[in-house]
Amino acid sequence: MEAWTKIRVAGQTDWKRVWMVISAGQTDKPNSIAEGSSSSAQFPKKKRISSIFSREQSPQRPAGPLKPIINMYTGPKPKERKKALLSLKNVTQAFAVYPERPELISRSTLIKVEGLLGDEEIAQSMKSREGWILIMPEIESSSGNQAMELLRWIIGAF
C-alpha cells in the first residue's frame, strides 16, 4: 500500500508531505522447516500410521502474522525511493484519532501509529527509539469515502 501522506513525528510540531509505503515484513520467529534445519524436511520418510505417535518434530506453522514495515520517501519515483526519509518497524498500535467536534468525525483521516522509529535524520531525538507518528493520508475529496480509506490505512499499518 502506498500513497502521499502528511506525517508528524513524536516530539515535533511540523507536518511533512511524504510518499508512504507500507509493506509486509517478517514474522517474529522464522519457520525452522523453511530454513532446512530439520532433517525430516530434507529427506521425507515414508508415511506410516505409527509415525503419528512418533516423537519427531511435527511441521511448524509460521509464528503469527507478518509485521509491517512503514517507509517514507520524498516521492514515488524510483530515484526518490533509494533511501528512506524515515522508517517505522515493530508496529505495536495503529488507531484512528477523531476530532472533538462530532460533525468532523466522518471526514477525519488522522491515524496514530506506534512502533520503533528508524535511525534516519528526520527522526531527530527519537532515532532508534519507541515512538509514534501521526499520519494523514491525502484522499481525494471528491470520493467522499474517508471512513473506508481510513480503515484501509489502519489495517495496512497493523
Q: What cell does 41 get?
A: 524436511
What predicted TM-score, i.e. pTM, was given to this entire model?
A: 0.70
Q: What's the sign of the alpha-carbon dihedral 125, 130, 131, 135?
A: positive
In whole angstroms, give the CA distance from residue 26 to residue 109: 28
CATH of the structural domain 2-26+66-157, one choice from 3.40.50.2300, 2.40.128.720, 2.30.29.30, 3.30.420.60 = 2.30.29.30
Reported as a single tens digit per residue, the pLDDT across 22-69 is 988 765 544 433 444 444 445 455 555 555 555 555 555 556 667 788
Return the beta strands (E) in the chain as ranges: 2-9, 16-24, 68-73, 86-96, 111-117, 130-137
Reported as a single tens digit per residue, the pLDDT across 116-125 is 998 888 878 7
Reported as a single tens digit per residue, the pLDDT across 130-147 is 999 999 998 876 556 788
Q: What cell does 87 get?
A: 522508517
Q: Where are the domains of the chain?
A: 2-26+66-157, 31-64
